[in-house]
Amino acid sequence: MVQGIQRRQKRYVEVISRTGTDGRVLPLAVVWEDGRTFAVDRVVDMRRAASLKVGGTGVRYICEIMGTRTFLYYEDPLWFVEEKVPPEEPLVIGG
C-alpha cells in the first residue's frame, strides 16, 4: 500500500471532451466536484480496459495532468477516476 493512501474509490467526474469526425473521444479537462478544473496535458494511451482497483470497465485513458500520469475511464456515457482516499486519523481516547 502506498504511504498516505488507505484505499481508492470510484469517483464519477465531469469531463470536457472533444469527439472527432471518426467518433474518437478525447478528454481535454477533468472538472472536480468542487469546480476545480484540471487540463489534460497529454493522452499517453487509450484502450479498452478494466479498473482493477475500483471495478468498472470501458475505455481507459492514461493522461498526464499537472505532470502526473492518471487513469481516466470512459464508461459511456460516464467518466470516472480511481480517487485516492487518505487514511483515517486514529482515534485518541483520553489524550
Q: Which SS3 state, helix, strand or coil, does residue 10 take? A: strand
What average pLDDT does the chain have?
A: 90
Contact 17, 27 (CB under 8 A): yes
Cell of 23: 467518433
Q: CA dihedral defined by 27, 58, 20, 32, rounded to 10 degrees? A: -20
The pLDDT tens digits of the residues spanning 81-95 come to 999 888 776 666 765
Q: Which of the 8 DSSP states describes residue 87? A: P
pLDDT digits (tens, 9 = 90+) for 57-70: 999 999 999 999 99
Give the per-residue pLDDT at 1: 47
CB-based contact 41:53 (threshold 8 Å): no
Tell me the CB-side half-sphere exposure of residue 37, using CA atoms within 13 A: 7
Q: What are the domain boundaries of the chain?
A: 7-85
Put simply, whether the predicted model's pTM sits higher than 0.75 gets the answer yes
